[in-house]
Structure 1
Amino acid sequence: MKRIFIGIGAAILVVLIAGLALLPGALEGQINRIVDGGPIDITEGARARHGELAVVDLHADTLLWARDPLDRAERGHVDLPRLVDGNVTLQVFSVVTKVPRDQRYVGTSGDSDVITLLAMVQRWPARTWDSLFERALYQAEKLHRAEEASGGDLTIVRTAADIDRLIEARGDGSRPVGGLLATEGSHPLEGRVGNVEKLYAAGYRMMGLTHFFDNELGGSLHGLSGEGLTEFGRDAVREMERLEIIVDLAHASPAVVSDTLDIATRPVVVSHTGIRGACDSPRNLDDALMKRIADAGGLVGIGYWKGAVCDPAPAEIVKSIRYAIDFLGADHVALGSDYDGAVPVAFDTSELAVLTAEMQKGGFTDEEIAKVMGGNAIRFFREQLPQG
């Protein structure tokens, strides 16, 4: 009888382990979805034009999930084969280290966290279970391992010289893809300014200040306080600027945006957003702040999901891009998908030519298309990254 109970217990354990192994994929399949945004209509002319572009996306959360970024997946939005299919030159990989259970665009508290359980289920190292800093390091390590295993098909960008080498390599007929590391908020600093330099050493070259909740640096656009930069936040921004880390104001409260612009000596980005004048959503900053960011030389990445553009259909995304160009200037608009960020979108990165096609239909000039699809981001990174 004892052996029977031992056998039953072992069988239950095997089932539980198998279930836990399948859970991350099932979860991602539910939240990183492709929804019906209408037919994907791309003419041969649009495909040809898209193939001539240097395409850049300022935000994807791919490293959070339990899959190899080098392998083509049946779920999610981004991996290396699909980046190649979409003719992407450079993908910014942002790392998520904490997400509250009550994640909302208005009134989100930071008192809970679902990433802890996700880290355990996905079998991240135990050091990541109770440390946001270690979660950032681990996701950076994941991209470094992918670079090493890619045979040159994926290269991490740290300097302006790396951008030049990437463009030169793609000009030789090959299609390597660059990856730039960023943080989704600066809570991984864990209240220590010295951790900015440690994340820089790990390869990070862009850092958001807040995510869905208020943190040690200041208020979130979605948080409870509405406050501006704290003294620690000011110190952290100054340290980022010293190291030539690009400051990302996505998810920052209006007060944090204003305070940051008051002390910044370098242009900033809003990596993934919409424009309030085109989509009146609480996810989007008001137009006056966006104009101030652009006037200071900044870059605004337009997202592909409902909360940013009100309708994820490609034609509607392009309407937001048109509004942004007309309001901010053609030199300040880029792509900021929020791929793999728990948002439903109408197309994945392999189908990015649909945006080129829709811009052509909308009467965009070739220069406008080239700038938005990646030219502005390439220029910005060449100017703002360490020169190398």
Structure 2
Amino acid sequence: MRGTALSLALALIATGAQASPTPEQVAEAALRASPVWDGHNDVPEQLRDRRKNVIADFDFRDTTNTADPAKGEIAMHTDLARLRKGHVGAQFWSVYVSALLPEPQAVQATLEQIDVTKRLIARYPQDLALCLTAADVEKAIKAGKIASLMGMEGGGSIGGSLAVLRQMYALGARYLTLTHFRNLAWADSATDAPKHDGLTDFGRDVVREMQRIGMLVDLSHVSEATMSDALDVARAPVIFSHSGARGVASHPRNVSDSVLDRLKANGGIVMVVTLPSYVSDEVRGWGNRRTAEKARLDEFYVNDPAAAKTGLEAWVKANPAPRSTVAQLADHIDHVVKRAGIDHVGLGGDFDGMGTTTQGMEDVAGYPALFTELARRGYSKADLGKVASGNMLRVLKSAESYAAAHRGDPPIESPTTF
């Protein structure tokens, strides 16, 4: 009997029989075949805040040494080496400007951010390629470059003008997040008191015109009423460039189950965010408690800021901050898949736009850890390819097809305001 078992084992070895691939191997194979298309990265904001967009001596090959404690600046999350390590093959760079800017200044600042992003891409032609279409993305990835697209974050960037919207598209912007953290004159934000109950008539025209020209409608940051109004108007897929599932974490920035149900019919995608307070209710709750304690101490020590600072440091030491985890991030993906389906989920890290990160995904190099967790949960190589970039590629192609079919439609006109 022992000799028979030994013979069988030797026969299996001789025929090349192998054990099933590990989750790490499945993840690696999926990411090599379909690299990550990340929906939101704030490197352009860092260039503005840290360097005033002067980048002649900026080294994007390695930014791990960019921390400046004296200025309260942490090291950047993104550079070319870590993008490669993280298997990022396509990136929407956010040409974000502050929602606090008056709209004329916001328009100028957005133009400056488009400019600095293009200049950064042009400095690294072996690694980055400016992309305007889905075909451009496919060509760049095939050439081993990181496909680089631009997205505007916050409707203040168009200054209440459809003409400016069209010109931003002509300059290369391929999505617009309708709001940021504040309401606009035509749209409600998720983190401001409702003003319009969603979109105004002009806001609906913004959505229509975006889809007519092929610009993706991004519903991250908007209120649920705005999400619903946009979906009422949309005839092409919409995106959430960096949002979570409210069924997992209750932040108002996240997407409710009722909207996820509608997203499936629309054909759109939720690109799951890694920002801890959107990933974890525990992290968000701790942040709220810290804010309340700071307010209490500031009032108690109104004439002694040093004592208030010391008190807050003692509170934080006694109440250490929780960390969001890769497993929780995978829970968001699971939830979107359960409600909307595997064809409607992607990734939008929000790296370089946050002060803290999810444990195990401290920078853009961390994506393999998430894909390993998903593979451990039973996601196939094909499913992982959809999450990584296949779904986003489909959405952009669909938006382009809709725009091509409506190329003959006249532009929506709106009167100038000054």
Give unpaired runs (5+ residues) of structure 1.
1-40, 100-112, 117-127, 170-174
How far apart, in 2, do the equivalents of 1:69 and 1:380 lie? 33
2:373 to 348, 358, 375: 358
- Residues 344 and 294 (structure 1 numbering): CA distance in 2 closer, same or farther, change over 3 Å? farther
> Given residue 326 of structure 1, which amino acid in structure 2 is its aligned partner?
K
**What's the TM-score once normalised by structure 1's chain length?**
0.76
1:224 equivalenced with 2:196 (yes/no): no
SS of the equivalent of 2:148 reads strand
SS of the equivalent of 1:373 reads helix
Query: Could you tell me whether the CA contact under 8 Å between 1:248 and 1:270 is conserved in 2?
Result: yes
Give unpaired runs (5+ residues) of structure 2.
1-21, 52-57, 65-74, 281-322, 405-418
1:266 equivalenced with 2:236 (yes/no): yes
CA positional deviation for 1:218? 1.0
CA positional deviation for 1:248? 0.3
Query: Could you tell me whether the CA contact under 8 Å between 1:54 and 1:89 is conserved in 2?
Result: yes
How far apart, in 2, do the equivalents of 1:42 and 1:73 lie? 30
SS of the equivalent of 1:131 reads helix
Query: Could you tell me whether the CA contact under 8 Å between 2:29 and 2:381 is conserved in 1?
Result: no
Query: Could you tell me whether the CA contact under 8 Å between 2:179 and 2:221 is conserved in 1?
Result: yes
Q: Which residues in structure 2 correspond to 1:186-265 (within 5 Å)?
A: 186-226=155-195, 227-265=197-235
> Given residue 132 of structure 1, which amino acid in structure 2 is its aligned partner?
A
Query: Could you tell me whether the CA contact under 8 Å between 2:260 and 2:339 is conserved in 1?
Result: no
Identity, in percent, stands at 32
CA positional deviation for 1:217? 2.4
1:158 equivalenced with 2:132 (yes/no): yes
How far apart, in 1, do the equivalents of 2:331 and 2:131 lie? 31
Query: Could you tell me whether the CA contact under 8 Å between 2:130 and 2:148 is conserved in 1?
Result: yes
- Residues 49 and 201 (structure 1 numbering): CA distance in 2 closer, same or farther, change over 3 Å? closer
1:63 to 44, 50, 64: 44
Query: Could you tell me whether the CA contact under 8 Å between 1:209 and 1:217 is conserved in 2?
Result: no
Aligned counterpart, 2:81: 81
Aligned counterpart, 2:92: 92
Query: Could you tell me whether the CA contact under 8 Å between 1:69 and 1:146 is conserved in 2?
Result: no
- Per mean C-alpha deviation after superposition, the further-off stretch among 283-292 and 41-50 is 41-50
- Residues 165 and 46 (structure 1 numbering): CA distance in 2 closer, same or farther, change over 3 Å? closer
- Per mean C-alpha deviation after superposition, the further-off stretch among 196-205 and 281-290 is 281-290
> Given residue 237 of structure 1, which amino acid in structure 2 is its aligned partner?
V
Larger radius of gyration: 2
How far apart, in 1, do the equivalents of 2:337 and 2:327 lie? 15
CA positional deviation for 1:69? 7.4
Q: Give the length in aligned residue pairs.
A: 317
Q: CA RMSD in A?
A: 2.3
Aligned counterpart, 1:143: 117
- Residues 45 and 292 (structure 1 numbering): CA distance in 2 closer, same or farther, change over 3 Å? closer
Provide, for residues 267-318 of structure 1, a one-character-per-residue CA deviation record: whole Å limited to 9, x for no partner: 1011111111122223213210122122210111111122222162111111
Query: Could you tell me whether the CA contact under 8 Å between 2:190 and 2:224 is conserved in 1?
Result: yes
How far apart, in 2, do the equivalents of 1:385 and 1:163 lie? 13
Aligned counterpart, 1:30: none
> Given residue 118 of structure 2, which amino acid in structure 1 is its aligned partner?
H
